[in-house]
Amino acid sequence: MELLLACQQDLRYAARNLLRSCGFAAVAAITLTIGIGANTAMFSIIDTILLRPLPFRDPGQLVRLYETEAAPSQYPFAGPDFLDWRAQNKTFQDMALFGWSGDMNLSGEGRPDHVLAVPTQANFFALLGVQPILGRTWLPGEDQPAKAQVAILSYGLWREHFAGDPGAVGRTIALNSKKYTIVGVMPASFRYPFQTQMWAPLEMDSKSVGQRGSHWANAVGRLKSGVSVQAARADLKIVSGRLEKTYPDSNDKVGSAVVALHDDLVGDSRASLLIMLSAVGLVLLIACANVANLLLSRAVARQKETAVRSALGAARGRLLRQLLTESLLLSLFGGALGLLVAWVLIALVSRAKNLALPQFAVIQLNSEVLTFTFALSVLTGVLFGLAPALRTSRPDLHEDLKGGAGSSISPGKRRRSISSVLVAGEMALSMLLLVSAGLLLKDFARLRNLDIGVRPEGVFTAAVRLPDTQYKTDARKLEFSQTLLEKCAHIAGVDAAAVSDRLPLEGGSNYYASCAARRPR
């Protein structure tokens, strides 16, 4: 009880002291706010991407499936191969096929819009184990051509295009001039594949899945309980080897690859995120050194006060606790403001469309992040307050009580010594941060100037999606392309124009083409 009362007294005294020194408190709080806010925002991103499990049912059982070829890397699926994998494996509960996101014209409800839609097999949502917040997901058999056209909205599209109206479920919309009925809305936490705004059924009849050798689709799988990724790889290696022998023309050297879904989504971002965390950690250490120097400077003005309290019987531990209470109060205030800074930074990151981060879940300030911020604030308060508190809590009564006259010895020299060490440490950390930033900028510049085999200067692109209802045949599509090229070629300043179904370096499907040998004359 006595300790609690003493702590309350220390807290009130620390608050009064900081209020009397508003300038010092403001500068120190702003310095800490920047450091703690940047670290909190960075930890929120790392917690979402690296630490937190995927927002699916039993996420440890989910894997991404690929096919491999003679050339190194992992490739999309050939539809018939997927059907064989699904039928012949012994380690999976289920597998689901899904296509690539495509730009589609949305009309028939509110303003016309372009949306990114992904076609999926009917068991896609059930396999991932996610439930809609409104309506339903796919029914068995809704991925067959004869079934009614249905669509599921992402949370973002539902809020932006339909103003969050619960009555959106059941309405009819047009996608590329085809009528679709909205049957569900997914939660905000579901972002797979990332940036998807709408899902539609993927037709799974024998014609739609394509031919062997045509690698165009993506696949996910759910392992059976207790089955490891290594066991699944061994199982599918047998299946792909069997297909290679059965279909030597299309499946020659075509193998299998199984990757944990979380690892697949994180990709190569782990190293970049840890480097960024190290950088903002250095910023916080520099902030601590700055505030410690401010506290040392302030201690000079308070040395007589400390000496008087010590002469009246205050033990060194009591003085030390009082000084650390001020530091902790200051750091907690900086941490509270840092949460606001982190919230702004997280909002900017979440809205950024071209940021190379796998945002497969919502980045937010959850309980883990709040705990991290509190712990970081306490640690920061101790870190920058300990050295000044240790020095200030041991006053030289003889020198300090007589006003410091007549001698210029130890106390001032020791303070200057501690201050010099802090300044040297601050400069070393700043230099380390500067060198690291320079190396990162150098790598960035090298990547920007890397010869990728394409000259992008002056090249502009535009995506056009033709509605199937008006362009049913290849002849009609070719006629449109030729007309478009002719009109583009006559635009002032255009040197050349071309049409392609894929842009360079943006990926896509791959398949084999057979060419008849030309007979020698």
pLDDT exceeds 90 at position 431:
no
Burial 239-248 (b: 16+ CB within 10 A, else e): bbeebeeebe
Q: Quick one: tokens of 443?
A: 């790598």
pLDDT digits (tens, 9 = 90+) for 210-262: 889 888 999 999 999 999 999 999 999 999 999 999 999 899 999 999 999 99
In DSSP terms, which residues pair with 258 in a beta bridge?
Answer: 65
Region 431-460: what's the mean pLDDT? 73
pLDDT computed for residue 198 by the predictor: 95
Q: What is the pTM of this model?
A: 0.79
- Cα separation, 74 vs 64, in Å, equals 11
Region 138-161: what's the mean pLDDT? 91
% of the chain residues with pLDDT over 70: 81
Angle among Cα 352, 358, 362 to the nearest 5 degrees reads 70
- Cα separation, 67 vs 257, in Å, equals 6
- Average pLDDT for the chain: 83
Q: How confident is the model at residue 169 (pLDDT cuts 50, 70, 90)?
A: very high
Q: Which of 66, 62, 64 is nearest to 76 (CA)?
A: 66
Q: How confident is the model at residue 79 (pLDDT cuts 50, 70, 90)?
A: very high
Q: How confident is the model at residue 407 (pLDDT cuts 50, 70, 90)?
A: very low
pLDDT digits (tens, 9 = 90+) for 92-135: 999 999 999 888 888 876 677 889 999 999 999 999 999 999 99
Tell me how far CA of residue 299 lies from CA of 11, 35, 307, 412, in angstroms: 18, 23, 11, 11
pLDDT computed for residue 408 by the predictor: 42
pLDDT computed for residue 409 by the predictor: 41
Q: Quick one: tokens of 130?
A: 């996610």
pLDDT computed for residue 156 by the predictor: 92
Stronger pLDDT, 518 or 327, i.e. the higher one: 327
